[in-house]
Amino acid sequence: MHIRSQKLSDFFNIGRDLGWDVEQQKWTVNQLIGPEGLSYTVGDIIPGGIPEDLPIIKSGNRYGYPPLRERIVETMEYDVDADHMLLTLGTQMSNFLAFATLLEPGDEAIVETPSWEQPRVLCEAFRADCKLIRREEELDWKFDLEKLESLMGPKVKLIYICHPNNPTGACLDEAELRAVCDIAAKHGAYVVSDEIYRGMEWSGDPSPSVANTYERGVSTSSISKILGMSGTRLGWLATPDRDFMERCMELKYYITLHQLSRLDETVAMAAMERQKFWAMARNSMRVAKANYDLVTKWMENSDVFRWVPPKGGFLSFPHYDLDIPSWDLCIALIKEPYRTYLIPGSCYGYENYVRLGFGPSTPTEDVRNGLEQLSAFIDDYRDGKIALSA
């Protein structure tokens, strides 16, 4: 198996090399890519901290700690029971298990774009044909359902969506998600929905989950984004299809063994308590609102950038009207004197767009500074003061 590096990963590496202080563990640039909610300490999650007598061992259940699975089902309002949930080492692993279980060489998968790069890489690794369905700005970053249906065929085993979407922040409503599932059902295909940003909707109402919508729906998620707990490597896969979940479980054994870290499960068990979880999620949204409002005002006053305001999460995908490739623009921005970190739209296959994040883990003052530097870059570029370099 040969995995090629993708442009998105390449630019993440550039961002880390140029903007992250390893010793201080902090950004040295105006970080306008933040997708995560507020970060919490162990003391915030578990008053008094981790019990000193907690054994640092793996847990003892091949599906994951049963009370935690039950708590996730309750808190995330899945219409499946805990026996239809598998705990994993994060959403990445859940997606991997779903793709690896469903795809054989010569199969086809329909993958939305722009979106997270992992599904395209997995299709290549499993020698399956990846057919892209493009989200369109003119449709508020949704995709044309007729075009989706035209891509279907007997070889299509799954449709992948990221919902709410990374990087556009677009959300499907219940009727739209049902339409996607109806298209899949005509061909017996699964719908794998990466729902890592579910619960971060600006309307206050969680997006519909595919596990609640379709008998072959597969919802993947974790607590890393909504609660800013990326250091806790614990995610899940939920589906009405128990046989499919069992197949994923059997494959998981040969990657990580069955059991997870008892330490991670203990922290997640506390964080996923329904009242605590949603209180922390609402707090993240409240703090992020200042950043959201700041970016909104800046976009309204810009004659170069425009955006479709995101419906969910802390990411957006604005278009810019400058005669400069997005990769070159973002390289120039992250260097002196601007020191501002954006992601090129070309990493997602969309030129003259950038990914702009404003999560509450980024202080509002840093967001303001980044937008001011972006304005300064625009002025300097127009005045011919910028010499582009690799």
pLDDT in tens, 64-94: 999 999 999 999 999 999 999 999 999 999 9
Same domain membership, residue 12 and residue 87: no
- Give bridge partners of residue 51 from the DSSP assignment: none
Is residue 369 classed as helix, strand or coil in its secondary structure? helix
Give the Cα separation of 217 and 213 in Å (integer).
Answer: 7
DSSP 205-256: SPPPPGGGT-TTEEEEEESTTTT--TTS--EEEE-S-HHHHHHHHHHHHHHH
Contact yes or no for 5/125 (Cβ under 8 A)? no
Has residue 56 got a pLDDT over 70?
Answer: yes
> In whole angstroms, how far apart are CA 34 and each of 200, 215, 320, 331, 352?
14, 34, 20, 18, 20
- pLDDT of res. 4: 79
Has residue 390 got a pLDDT over 60?
Answer: no
Same domain membership, residue 308 and residue 208: no
Q: Does residue 210 fall inside a structural domain?
A: yes
Same domain membership, residue 337 and residue 217: no
Which residue range forms the structural domain that includes residue 14?
A: 7-40+284-382
- pLDDT of res. 387: 73
* CA 125 to the chain's CA centroid: 21
Q: Write out pLDDT tens, residues 355-370.
A: 999 999 999 999 999 9
Same domain membership, residue 289 and residue 271: no
The single-letter code of the amino acid at 93 is: M
Residue whose tokens read 């305001």: 309
- Check whether the bond before 114 is cis (ω within 30° of 0): yes
Contact yes or no for 161/180 (Cβ under 8 A)? yes
Same domain membership, residue 364 and residue 346: yes
Nearest CA among 167, 207, 144 for reference residue 314: 167
Q: Phi/psi at 93 (nearest 5 deg)?
A: -70, -40
Alpha helix (H) residue ranges in the chain: 7-19, 42-45, 66-75, 91-102, 118-125, 145-151, 174-185, 242-256, 262-271, 274-301, 326-334, 364-382
Contact yes or no for 59/260 (Cβ under 8 A)? yes
- pLDDT of res. 125: 94
| pTM summary value | 0.95
- pLDDT of res. 389: 59
- pLDDT of res. 257: 83
- Give bridge partners of residue 58 from the DSSP assignment: 261
Give the Cα separation of 90 and 337 in Å (integer).
Answer: 37
Both tokens assigned to 108: 């086809």
Has residue 247 got a pLDDT over 70?
Answer: yes
Domain boundary among 218, 242, 276: 276
Same domain membership, residue 357 and residue 234: no
Give the Cα separation of 225 and 40 in Å (integer).
Answer: 12
Q: Does residue 81 fall inside a structural domain?
A: yes
Domain boundary among 220, 250, 276: 276
Same domain membership, residue 176 and residue 70: yes
Q: Does residue 2 fall inside a structural domain?
A: no
Q: Phi/psi at 33 (nearest 5 deg)?
A: -130, 0
Same domain membership, residue 82 and residue 221: yes
Q: Write out pLDDT tens, residues 115-155.
A: 999 999 999 999 999 999 999 999 999 999 999 999 999 99
* Percentage of the chain exceeding pLDDT 90: 86
Has residue 106 got a pLDDT over 90?
Answer: yes
Task: Tell me the pLDDT of the chain averaged across its residues.
Answer: 95
The number of distinct structural domains making up the chain is: 2
Q: Does residue 23 fall inside a structural domain?
A: yes
End-to-end CA distance of the chain: 31
- pLDDT of res. 250: 96
Has residue 60 got a pLDDT over 80?
Answer: no
Give 5's contacts (C-beta < 8 A, 6+ positions apart). none
